[in-house]
Amino acid sequence: MKNLVLGLLLFSTILSACQQKAEDTAGHATNMANTAYYTEPHRPQYHFTPEKMWMNDPNGLVFFEGEYHLFYQHYPKANVWGPMHWGHAVSRDLVHWEHLPIALYPDSLGLIFSGSAVVDWNYTSGFGDNGKPSLVAIFTHHLMEGEKAGRTDYQYQSIAFSNDRGRTWTKYKGNPVIPNTQKIKDFRDPKVFWDRDSKQWVMVFAAYDHVKLWGSPDLKNWKHLSDWGKEWGTHGGVWECPDLFPMTVEGTGEKKWVLLQSLNPGGVNGGSGTQYFVGNFDGKNFKLDPGFSPSVAGGKAVWLDWGPDNYAGVTWSDVPKTDGRRLFIGWMSNWLYGMVVPTEAWRSAMTLPRQLILKKTTTGPSLFSQPVKELETLRSKSYAGENQALEGEMDLTDKLGFSSPLIEIKLEFELPEGTKTDVGIALSNIKGEEYRVGFDAAKNEFYSDRTKAGKADFSDKFAAKRYTAPRVANSKTLRLHLFFDVASCELFADDGGVVMTNIFFPTEDFSQYRLYSTMGQVKVTRLSAYQLTRAFSQ
């Protein structure tokens, strides 16, 4: 009798999973045929957004057989967070994305929280078939029933594999591969990599106020290596979504390890934010680099991005050696207001994909972020100018000869000695809404100001203040590289040494652009602008 009930239960679960899958695939096809595809108000036109409903963290970033995979935290039934699945998309160039059916559905062990994916090149797991290595996804199962019952061991790490380029997935029968025997409530977000030196898989995941490192020969059997982080960095909130990877310091050949660590709340702007650490990893322990910002010992953070809208970002696994880049993408939102931003059909976008570069600076090894070069393929109309004097305001709309909410602008200013001016760019629309991004020389800080940029009544946290970031470089030449896409601005200042990511929701698209210098003349040594094309066609 028991077996019959179990059998029926299993059959109906499989049936409903199949039906769900069929519905998703059908929905996908209908949307692709719709000419209004992807054109709702506030829909970014060259940033990744889910076709419909809710999205948060990027997951399972892996490159395999010419495709960049982007899985993501997804609730397919509503535009707010709910029972988590892994949504899925692939791209051959990091710019144009193809939506694929949902990859991982919740099961009896729980919802599918954040995690990573790797290519098992050496068949260590035994999952591969036909001489083809498998993709293996490593994720957290979150058992809602356990949480509701007041237990503390409801998060644990599990795996699934795919032998058809990520199109279908099979969960491992021996899940979970790391049970939560320590009963730590926040025990999640595994990021896995193959460590060539210690010849093992290494998993880093977050456990409330620190990261745990575990090692495995085969992705199935894991043993604890070490814990790190309780005494380091900032702890204004729960640590989530870590990433650990080696990098060569640009121009030196020196190898260091970078640990990205998101936390919520406690970010630089109060809500969600991502700090990072530079150190060394010896196959067992992570140790901070002695030259890396000493203030992290006193509980301070070094931020990856100073804007409010770059969270839970991690890097792609298995990018070919011939490419050699460390590629990153983050969720372009913030838990302070992510669930109430004014969009309906879908909710939230990813940041632009970025290349991370480790550079030696006067303040120690620092991470620089740059937009990936593939984005240049979106450039259409362009403008290039040199050596123009700027005092007060300069209208750009006529000068450029094009006007679009999709624009990339590269600005280079030469600042006079001792200047106290405020230089930057203002975007506005016929409704009088305005967004400003620039540099305040008197305070030596970059800023981004969306306090008057349109809709904000959905959250009192959204437009409460202007965001600032201290300038580290001290050269007279100031470089701002900016990307605007309907509802967002990404600033890469001083060659990516300072990054600020912001979203905004003007009631009409921003189509007017002005440069300004508020106190005295500055020289705009270079101004390049490009109208960008949308990345989605049918």
Q: Which of residues 98-127 bind ligand FRU (CB under 6 A)?
A: 113-114
Q: Which of residues 486-525 bind ligand FRU (CB under 6 A)?
A: none
Residues 6+ apart with CB under 8 A from 15: none
Residue 147 CB, nearest approach to ligand FRU (Å): 12
Residue 186 CB, nearest approach to ligand FRU (Å): 8
Question: How many residues contact ligand FRU, by CB under 6 A?
Answer: 12
Residue 57 CB, nearest approach to ligand FRU (Å): 5
Q: Which of 24, 57, 189, 494 is catalytic?
A: 57
The answer to whether residues 468 and 500 touch, using CB atoms and an 8 Å cutoff, is no
Residue 532 CB, nearest approach to ligand FRU (Å): 28
- The nearer residue to ligand FRU, 312 or 327, going by C-beta atoms, is 312
The one-letter amino acid code at 294 reads P
Q: Determine the Cα–Cα distance for residues 186 and 156; give it in Å rounded to an integer.
A: 9
Q: For residue 107, what is the DSSP state?
A: B
| Helix and strand totals (H; E) in the chain | 3, 31
β-pairing verdict for 238-248 and 223-228: unpaired
- The nearer residue to ligand FRU, 339 or 345, going by C-beta atoms, is 339
- The nearer residue to ligand FRU, 57 or 318, going by C-beta atoms, is 57
- The nearer residue to ligand FRU, 241 or 278, going by C-beta atoms, is 241
Q: Determine the Cα–Cα distance for residues 348 and 153; give it in Å rounded to an integer.
A: 30
Q: Which of residues 116-175 bind ligand FRU (CB under 6 A)?
A: 140
Residue 235 CB, nearest approach to ligand FRU (Å): 15
> Out of 57, 318, 408, 449, which residue is the one contacting ligand FRU (CB under 6 A)?
57
- The nearer residue to ligand FRU, 189 or 449, going by C-beta atoms, is 189
Q: Is 188 an interacting residue with respect to ligand FRU (CB under 6 A)?
A: yes
Q: Determine the Cα–Cα distance for residues 358 and 260; give it in Å rounded to an integer.
A: 13
Task: Classify burial at 205, counting beta carbons within 10 Å of its beta carbon; exposed 0-12, middle 13-18, buried 19 or more.
Answer: buried
| CA nearest neighbour of 14 among 24, 2, 25, 6 | 6
Residue 456 CB, nearest approach to ligand FRU (Å): 22
3-class state of residue 187 by DSSP: coil
Q: Determine the Cα–Cα distance for residues 316 and 310; give it in Å rounded to an integer.
A: 16
- CA 377 to chain centroid, in Å, comes to 21
Query: How many Cβ atoms are within 10 Å of 435's Cβ, its own excluded?
Result: 23
Annotated catalytic, 195?
Answer: no
| CA nearest neighbour of 476 among 444, 515, 516 | 444
Q: Is 240 an interacting residue with respect to ligand FRU (CB under 6 A)?
A: yes
- The nearer residue to ligand FRU, 358 or 503, going by C-beta atoms, is 503
Q: Determine the Cα–Cα distance for residues 289 and 374; give it in Å rounded to an integer.
A: 32
> Out of 62, 84, 437, 527, which residue is the one contacting ligand FRU (CB under 6 A)?
84
Q: Is the dihedral of CA 450, 482, 330, 224 positive or negative?
A: negative
Which residue, chain included where needed, has tokens 């931003």?
Answer: 341
- The nearer residue to ligand FRU, 194 or 239, going by C-beta atoms, is 239
**Residue 304: HSE in the Cβ half-sphere, 13 Å Cα cutoff:** 34
- The nearer residue to ligand FRU, 349 or 409, going by C-beta atoms, is 349
> Out of 70, 103, 160, 241, which residue is the one contacting ligand FRU (CB under 6 A)?
241
* DSSP track, 345-384: SEE--BPPPEEEEEEEETTEEEEEEEE-GGGGGGEEEEEE
* DSSP track, 43-73: --SSS---SSEEEEEEEEEEEETTEEEEEEE
The answer to whether residues 72 and 57 touch, using CB atoms and an 8 Å cutoff, is yes
Q: Which residues bind ligand FRU (CB under 6 A)?
A: 56-57, 73, 84, 113-114, 140, 188-189, 240-241, 312
* Catalytically annotated residues: 57
